[in-house]
Structure 1
Amino acid sequence: MEKLEIYLGNIAAFMWGLPLVILLVGGGLFFVIYSRFQAYFHLKHAVQITLGKYDSDKKAKGELSHFKALMMALSGTLGLGNISGVAVAITLGGAGAIFWMWVTAVVGISTKFYTATLSVKYRGLDRQGELQGGPMYVIREGLGNKWLPLAWLFCIACMFGSLPIFQINQLVQILRDFIAIPQGLATSEQHFSFDLICGILLCILISTIVMGKLARIAKVTSKVVPFIVCVYLLMTFSVLIINYEKVFPAFTSIFINAFDASSVAGGFIGTIIMIGVQRGAFSNEAGIGTESMAHGAAKTNEPIREGLVATLGPIIDTLLVCTCTALVILVTGVIDTGFTGVTLTAKAFELAFPGIGGYLLIMIVFFLSTSTVLSFWYYGSKCAEFLLGAVFQKVYIYIYLALIILGAVASLTLVITFIDIMYALMAIPTMISTILLANKVNIEAKKYFKQLPSK
């Protein structure tokens, strides 16, 4: 197992090297400049669209309202990447890694504007004749059949990258560390049986919802995500108020350490950048393409509208939620305790609220991880259908559920490196196709914003 972790770690390090960083961050900067900052100038309009001001067209194509589409997309991005992923970023790259997560979010606003717009503009029919969105349809409908290998690459990577192993792994870890071990149900060395039982129970629980349609998943996420985010922000703000004198130094350390190579093993600034971009991409998925499938289901005939709605994603999940998590870890001083992943974040809340902090985070992690699993099932199953048809889509559902159990007992290092590889493979076709079709978005934007004042 150790050799496998090293092998996959080397592959992940290679794939998340300079070329992919340039593709994601450089591509995002290209979209910022090419769009002339349009996405940033229309954030107020994006909020109005999300709140339903432009939902009056009953004949519009699609299944979800703008709000439900955003909530479903956020349920995939607002998860363990914002709690556990931030802790991993700080552990591996120091406080400076958070700065580079911010960079991915800022440029990711424009990236999502383009990817979500294209996902609506180039919706296509699946094998059952139903209208779908997502990078694979953007490639097929927008670039033509000669580019289909890129669509196949995305689908293969998404089927594996959307597996629930990370979310379940971290949910089981926090249950083990804060319930099982203190109660004597497991030890830090012997916990396989507890992990396995948790995996089986979670598999049964999630299967009752996963077997539903998109509408059921969207109904669940549209209620769960806003409530849990509000609760989590209330918790983090409380910690920051209690430790108000440490907030400014924490912010300062993020900026200083972003360019301080001594904070990481090997002493390379590039390592900090790579870790920050990795975890940023894992957090907001800008340029990865998965969330485009949720935005592609929006009920609208105006692609630009959903593109604007998608711009709110990186602001909420990375610039707001991830920043709050990072500051809680930094101001409570738990970074030197030797913990990592979700347990590190839980220790921070436990230190701030003795006796209840860890349990409050367990509640947050439970709802965020399970809502992410629901969205990821939708993403993976749609890719399975595109690639191999409806029969395999049904088979994929059962494979997906079985891997909930695997995620419960697998090691965190193995899980993270595997998912990182799949995310890198998804980013390549998503960014290439978006760059090639960027001019189509600009044409749509010019037409839409020209007639906007008359609406």
Structure 2
Amino acid sequence: MFDTLEGLIASFSSWVWDWPLLVLLIGGGLFFLIYSQFTPFFYFKHAVNVLRGKYDTIDAPGQLSHFQALSSAIAATVGMGNISGVAVAIVMGGPGAVFWMWISAIIGMATKFYTCSLAVMYRSRGDNGTLLSGPMYVITQGLGRNWKPLAVLFALAGLVGTLPAFTTNQLTQTLVDVLDLNEEFKWYIGIALAVIASIVILGGIKRIGIVASRLVPFMVVLYFVTVITVLVVQIKVVPEMFMLIFSDAFSGEAAAGGALGYLIKTGVKRAAFSNEAGIGTAPMMHGNAKTSEPIREGLVAMLGPAIDTLLVCTLTALTILSTGVWQQTDDNGISLTLQAFNSVLPFGLGDIVVVIMVLVFAFSTLFSYSYYGTTCLGFLTKPKYGKYYNYIYILSIIIAAVVKIDFAINLIDSAFAIMAIPTVFSGLLLAPKVNARAKIYFNALKK
């Protein structure tokens, strides 16, 4: 029965990520990019100043500072998608898939500007006065109650898409590989992960924000230093790897059957899982920022794909490609990334460093994703009932530790695809509202 379910999910994932959804994400992102006249990109420095707290006000509505909101959103994206997801992209699509991840990220920056600005513009309040945000509230508050079925679709898909299937699976696989454990130990690892994660996620959004704001700078710096060390050792071949990425991007020679379409689809899928632009999870977090200026938070959110995909994913890709391990093994996911580090770092340092990074990355993702699920359940029922999703989430950590990687990938990809439809569609319809608000904000800023 499970094999049948696995086959159905795999078939649906393959079908739904075919051209219609690629057109939605890439086409929608291009629309946002052109419709904004590239204006948000001219305010990159201002976005950094907002992130630094220069424009913070104590009495602004919201629960998280700009830094905590971005950290929490990045904690969910700069995770296993960057260490393991890039390896999956290269194995499935070849080096050229990285190029299409870059394109998707640049376009995704415009998408995040619009979707996260809308998340602040159309916030709702729960019975206890707490702010509620996300694509489902953008749809019901911005488009009206007649559009609620679209919001319900997002929330239902969100209950699945925010499950920790991929993250837990790859973290467990890392520990099994490095510690040379038997497969039956995956159950015990899953239980241990569930216990640790519950300590943070049961504390609510504020505790998640505090933990994420401390973990994210540490994990990005640690990963950056480690990968740069590997690339310095491999510096002679790094320029060749960039050329390989660009040349393969339009040939698809390393992709399945040499299909360029498959290559593009692979790059966009993995970028979507990596930075979540257009998927709708990040707006739920950014919507909790302490600000009364939606455009301000949209600019901060725009930094996410730049940090996540253009920086971190690129470093991972260059490490895997420069070491050549992607051509020498049938391994996939985290196992391939682990081989890349071990092929360069001496004395088994690769195992140690990767385990530390994977633990930090994975836990940061586990913490943030739980909040997304509680928000979706709260919308479908009542906000006060959203917290019960955490118990489902904790149980799913144990189950996800033992499932196959292909099942985990296809499950999350399927849910993400469904979530993207309401997110991008509502963003396109409400884009004029964002432009009108942006014009007022940028004019005031100049004065």
Q: Distance in 2 between matches of 1:422 and 1:2?
A: 19
Aligned to 1:230: 221
Contact 2:157 2:415 in 1 (8 A): yes
Amino acid at match of 1:347: Q
Aligned to 1:42: 43
Q: Quick check: 1:328 aligned with 2:322?
A: no
C-alpha spacing 1:127/1:386, structure 2 compared with 1 (3 Å): farther
Q: Distance in 1 between matches of 2:130 and 2:146?
A: 23
Amino acid at match of 1:248: P
Aligned to 2:440: 447
Q: Quick check: 1:175 aligned with 2:175?
A: yes
Counterpart of 2:402 (choices 405, 409, 415) is 409
Q: Distance in 2 between matches of 1:42 and 1:416?
A: 36
Aligned to 1:350: 342
Aligned to 2:386: 393
Contact 2:94 2:252 in 1 (8 A): no
Contact 2:101 2:268 in 1 (8 A): yes
1:125 deviation in Å? Answer: 1.7
Q: Quick check: 1:268 aligned with 2:259?
A: yes
Amino acid at match of 2:174: I
Contact 2:93 2:252 in 1 (8 A): no
Amino acid at match of 1:76: A
1:51 deviation in Å? Answer: 0.5
1:130 deviation in Å? Answer: 2.2
Q: Distance in 2 between matches of 1:39 and 1:215?
A: 29
Aligned to 1:29: 30
Aligned to 1:19: 20
Amino acid at match of 1:139: I
Contact 1:97 1:258 in 2 (8 A): yes
Secondary structure of the structure 1 residue equivalent to 2:250: coil
Deviation by residue 1:181-200 (Cα, 9 ceiling, x = unmatched)? 2xxx41xxxx1x20000001
Amino acid at match of 1:104: S
Aligned to 1:314: 305
1:392 deviation in Å? Answer: 4.2
Aligned to 1:165: 165
Secondary structure of the structure 1 residue equivalent to 2:257: coil
Secondary structure of the structure 1 residue equivalent to 2:280: coil
Amino acid at match of 1:53: K
Secondary structure of the structure 1 residue equivalent to 2:247: helix
Contact 2:96 2:252 in 1 (8 A): no
Unaligned 5+ segments in structure 1 are none
1:127 deviation in Å? Answer: 4.9
1:418 deviation in Å? Answer: 0.5
1:358 deviation in Å? Answer: 1.7
Q: Distance in 1 between matches of 2:388 and 2:249?
A: 45
Secondary structure of the structure 2 residue equivalent to 1:245: coil
C-alpha spacing 1:52/1:394, structure 2 compared with 1 (3 Å): closer
1:7 deviation in Å? Answer: 2.4
Secondary structure of the structure 1 residue equivalent to 2:236: helix
Matches within 5 A, 1:232-271: 232-271=223-262
Contact 1:126 1:385 in 2 (8 A): no
Contact 1:127 1:389 in 2 (8 A): no
Matches within 5 A, 1:125-136: 125-136=125-136
Q: Distance in 1 between matches of 2:97 and 2:89?
A: 6
Q: Distance in 2 between matches of 1:6 and 1:103?
A: 31
Counterpart of 1:341 (choices 333, 345, 352) is 333
Q: Distance in 2 between matches of 1:345 and 1:125?
A: 43
Deviation by residue 1:327-381 (Cα, 9 ceiling, x = unmatched)? 0000011102221101111111111113111221111111111111111000000
Q: Distance in 2 between matches of 1:327 and 1:199?
A: 31
TM-score (norm 2): 0.97
Amino acid at match of 1:41: F
Q: Distance in 1 between matches of 2:97 and 2:352?
A: 27
Q: Distance in 1 between matches of 2:263 and 2:7?
A: 20
Aligned residue pair count: 444
Unaligned 5+ segments in structure 2 are none
1:85 deviation in Å? Answer: 0.3
Contact 1:78 1:283 in 2 (8 A): yes
Contact 2:126 2:383 in 1 (8 A): no
Amino acid at match of 2:423: T
Q: Distance in 1 between matches of 2:301 and 2:384?
A: 32
Amino acid at match of 1:136: M
Q: Distance in 1 between matches of 2:87 and 2:150?
A: 33
Deviation by residue 1:183-223 (Cα, 9 ceiling, x = unmatched)? xx41xxxx1x2000000111111111111021111000000
Q: Quick check: 1:52 aligned with 2:53?
A: yes
C-alpha spacing 1:127/1:23, structure 2 compared with 1 (3 Å): farther
Q: Distance in 1 between matches of 2:60 and 2:160?
A: 33
Amino acid at match of 1:124: S
Amino acid at match of 2:444: Q
